[in-house]
Structure formats: structure tokens, C-alpha cells
Amino acid sequence: MPADTAESELTDSISKAMVHLYAEAYGHDRTTAKAYINDNVVVCILEDILSVGETGDIADGESSDVIDERVAFQNRSEDKFTNAVEHLTGRTVTAFLSANQTSPGVACEMFFLEETLQTENST
């Protein structure tokens, strides 16, 4: 399989895994995602992340509470997110960062992967 096809399948799988984890946590399936891989970094951008309740809280001026709860969620769920990426990439996640914004409702999940060993052919 060509490298571009394999990477595209991998990024699609990571995107689907992130959407699934969000759906489990927030009870809606409208979130979309697009993952990117660059060397040892996986970045997944998610859109339409807000639940109906969060949208109401934001309308009531409670954006900071929504962000605080999302940060707490990521702290509680870090293992689920990193395990999904490790399983799909076959590499160890060495660091995980998450950021959320309420207007618009977007998030960024970033995973730093352990470097792969490069072997040189000796002649």
C-alpha cells in the first residue's frame, strides 16, 4: 500500500476515534474531526463540539465554566485518548495537549509520539 494511502487511512482512523470519544462523553454525534500527522506529532482538529447544554450555558454567559469542565474532562479522559492513538499508530504517546474554544465550538487534541528508531544500512 502506498505511504500516502496508509497515512490517509491512519489519519481517518484517528479522526473517527476522537469523534467516538467525544460522542461517548457529550452524548451527540455531530462533531467532525480531521487528523494530521507530521513526524512525531499527531494533531486532531474537532468542530461542532458543544452539547446543547453547553450551548445554553454559553448563551447565559458561562463560557468559562464550559471551558473549565472541558479541561476537567480531558484530565479524566487522557488515558482513553492516548490509548486510542497508541493503538492506531503503534507508537507510544509521550505527551498530550488539549485546547477548546467556545465560539466557535472547536477543539484541538495534540499527541507527541515517541521517536521511531532510524536504522542505517551498513555496507
| 118 within some domain | no
What confidence category does residue 122 fall into, taking pLDDT thresholds of 50, 70 and 90? very low
Cis peptide before 104 (omega within 30 of 0): yes
Q: What is the pTM of this model?
A: 0.87
Do 46 and 19 form a contact (C-beta atoms < 8 A)?
yes
Instruction: Give the number of other CB atoms < 10 A from CB of residue 68.
Output: 12
Return the C-alpha cell found at 116: 521511531
**pLDDT tens across 105-116, in order?**
999 999 999 987
| 91 within some domain | yes
| 120 within some domain | no
**pLDDT tens across 39-75, in order?**
999 999 999 999 999 999 999 999 999 999 999 999 9
> What pLDDT score does 1 carry?
57
> What pLDDT score does 123 carry?
45
> What pLDDT score does 92 carry?
97
Do 24 and 51 form a contact (C-beta atoms < 8 A)?
no
| 63 within some domain | yes
> Coil, strand or helix: which one is 35?
strand
How many domains does the chain contain in total?
Answer: 1
83: domain range? 3-113
